[in-house]
Amino acid sequence: MPDLQAEVIRRGLVASISGVTIWRWLAEDALKPWTHRSWIFPRAPDFEPKAARVLDLYAGEFEGHALTPDEFVVSADEKTSIQARVRRHPTVAANAHHPMLVEHEYERGGALAYLAAWDVHRAKLFGRLEPTTGIAPFGRLVSQVMAEEPYRSARRVFWVLDNGSSHRGDACVQRLQEAYSNLVPVHLPIHASWLNQVEIYFSILQRKVLTPADAPSLDGLAANILAFQAHYQTLAKPFEWKFTRADLAGLLRRLASQDQPQLPGAA
């Protein structure tokens, strides 16, 4: 506040003002000029049709037709490089006098990749831990899901995927459909992972298990993740997804009406 106070006086906006007054104005207007939020402007030319197709699936339809009881929607992705940080001193539990105390120094105990698939309408969760991501680990996740009923004998199982290297493009579509004739890959547009429902589960896992990053070993980290997965499955309900095709169209109209910054190197 003293910096802002000095600046507005320097610019001649006011003759004098107190830091308390500036603080009050900002609080009343809900302005926090010291904060920022990163985002990616949707630039893909096919952003709206690809995103709308996924939103339709969440709403229970595909290409203008309602999904049948033997059709399912699965959202899948990977959470990469989850580190096992073995603290140099054991974490001290919180009590009435201090919060949890986590030792700053740690040894690296290795890292894992967590691959998960979420049945959007049945709230069924599948997950596995792998040393790394890739086509083969992702294929094992797909096999884990598709080997079970009702997916094995379903009419169609739609897999909502982003454009990560493990499941990108036409090669992925061909590979998956050759392995499972009833599997329909549905790719999100580039920079639209925020429309992938499994990311909601990953954010819950991050808050409740992986923060603070504290594990006795790599095996201990794996046990914590899989134990939470089993616990979460007993409580899981479908996410209350409210962002619709109409909301998407409105958002893109608002973005189109704004001045877009000139990108480096753009003509």
Residue 69 in domain: yes
Q: Which of 114, 87, 89, 82 is nearest to 210 (CA)?
A: 82
- 36-61: b (≥16 Cβ within 10 Å) or e: eeeeeebeeeebbebbbbbbbbbeee
Spell out the residues 6+ positions from residue 248 whose beta carbon is closer than 8 angstroms to its own. 48, 51, 52, 55
Amino acid at 202: F
What is the distance between the alpha carbons of residues 160 and 187, in angstroms, rounded to a whole number? 6
**In a shared domain, residues 53 and 114:** yes
Residue 115 in domain: yes
What is the distance between the alpha carbons of residues 45 and 195, in angstroms, rounded to a whole number? 17
29-30-32 Cα angle (round to 5): 115
Domain of 179, CATH number, reads: 3.30.420.10
Q: Does residue 42 contact residue 188 with C-beta atoms inside 8 Å? A: no
Residue 131 in domain: yes
Q: What is the pLDDT along the chain (267 residues), one digit of tens a residue?
A: 889 899 999 999 999 999 999 999 888 988 787 788 887 788 888 999 999 999 999 999 999 999 999 999 999 999 999 999 999 998 999 999 999 999 999 999 999 999 999 999 999 999 999 999 999 999 999 999 999 999 999 999 999 999 999 999 999 999 999 999 999 999 999 989 999 999 999 999 999 999 998 888 999 999 999 999 999 999 999 999 999 999 999 999 988 887 555 444 433
Residue 138 in domain: yes
Residue 72 in domain: yes
Q: Helices marked H in 105-217 — which ranges?
A: 135-146, 169-179, 198-208
**In a shared domain, residues 54 and 179:** yes
Domain that holds residue 110: 47-239
